[in-house]
Amino acid sequence: MVFSSGVFMFMFLPGLLAVYYAVKGREIRNYILLTASLMFYAWGEPVFIFIMLSSILANWALTLAMSRSSWPKLWLTLAVSLDVVILGVFKYAGFITENLGLPRVNIALPIGISFFTFQMMSYVFDVYYGKSSAQRNPLYVALYISFFPQLIAGPIVRYSQIESEITGRHESIDAFSEGVRRFIYGLGKKVLLANFVAQVADNVFGYMMNPSVMMAWLGAVSYTLQIYFDFSGYSDMAIGLGLMFGFHFEENFRHPYMAASITDFWRRWHISLSTWFRDYVYIPMGGNRVSHSRTLANLFTVWLLTGIWHGANWTFILWGLVYFALLVIERETGKTPGHVLTMLAVILAWVIFRCETVAKGLGFIASMFGLKGNALYDGGFVEYIRGTWLVMTLAVIGIFPAAGRLLHRHAWIESAWLCMVLVLSVLEAISASYNPFIYFNF
């Protein structure tokens, strides 16, 4: 079930809100949310829900044992090893066997396994480092892991961030209203912008063997816009849904395409993932408090793992290592490339990320610079521009905060705008058959 589907918007969410606010008592409301979240996941994953529940129960038991043990590191190791093995088997077994020359093992990938596994590890780490107390009620741990707004595509919520809200949150009209506002904006990003530019990107990347230079750039820019509006739109909807039920999630995007450096970009893009690796991998390994060579090794490890986290493909590994190299260059030179060069690097990196193989990615980049004997532009490019210029212009405007700030200053204008976005999004969501979420694959 996806947030932009009719089933979710007209059946699941209204029904859940009605039941949730019809009853009193924090405990019963938590159990209602847990039941609804499990139903939400089981809608698309009726088999894998048992794997998720088994993993939750194991992590709860191991963490509880860790909190009571004289050897907490032993229990930490057991819990983290379990999570890594589960993630490795389901996400990387086929990739590993294929690259070892063995018969490929094909195992279906549970939706959102990378997100909810990292949340489980976050719970274990937060208890180990004393940031949170071990939860005695396994159903509350299950609610934290499976809470449907952030279950399958993030943001990755730390247990320490919402521990107190599980048992002591306060719902309010103001928070609910803000949640509705964020949800509508996210829905519009996804349905009206991401889905449109996605079709342009898919056509260019999927069906053109040697596009013209301008067509290749159109495809690359379209995918750059798609992945931002798709993922940030989902995060906006998740944050908005959390507010409707009294939960406050951290921001996951802060206008990343305004970044003036690669370092700045990763302070703005998928913040919950980059800070997760910083706090649970980079800093425990010593961060930048160790020797220069060790610091570089720590950075290499983080970005290798970041690439691997995204998927079982050499393209993701290369994508992660490209960012490692760019960040090291910035670190060693002490210079920032500026907005234009940063965005050029980001766009080219997204091409590698998007393509099925490294060879295709490098070939597509060659087409972008006319290195394959391709023409500068062709008739197809002109037709695409005629049909897409308005939405592309709105998408480019949408990556900057100015328009949003202007609307927010005038309540009646923003209210009218939100109503229009909601109506158009619902109509588009009902009529469209093309409605993918990129990060469901991770």
What's the alpha-carbon Rg for the chain, to the nearest Å?
A: 22
Quick one: which H or E segment has residue 363?
Answer: helix 358-368
Question: What is the rounded distance in angstroms from the CA atom of residue 272 to the CA atom of residue 253?
Answer: 9
- The kind and range of the H/E element at 19 are helix 13-22
* Token pair belonging to 152: 């399958």
- Phi, psi values for residue 317, rounded to 5°: -65, -45
In order of 46, 227, 302, 397, the CA distances from 185 in angstroms are 30, 16, 32, 14
State the number of CA atoms in the 13 A half-sphere of 157 facing the CB.
Answer: 27
d(CA 291, CA 417): 53
**What is the rounded distance in angstroms from the CA atom of residue 31 to the CA atom of residue 24?**
12
Is 270 among the residues known to form the active site?
Answer: no
Pick the catalytic residue: 170, 248, 310, 410? 310
Residue 351 to residue 364: CA distance in whole angstroms: 7
DSSP string, 133-186: PPPS-HHHHHHHHH-GGGTTT-----HHHHHHHHHH----HHHHHHHHHHHHHH
Q: What are the CB-based long-range contacts (under 8 Å, 24+) for 133-136?
A: 133/67, 133/163, 134/63, 134/64, 134/66, 134/67, 134/68, 135/60, 135/63, 135/64, 135/163, 136/64
Q: Active-site positions?
A: 310
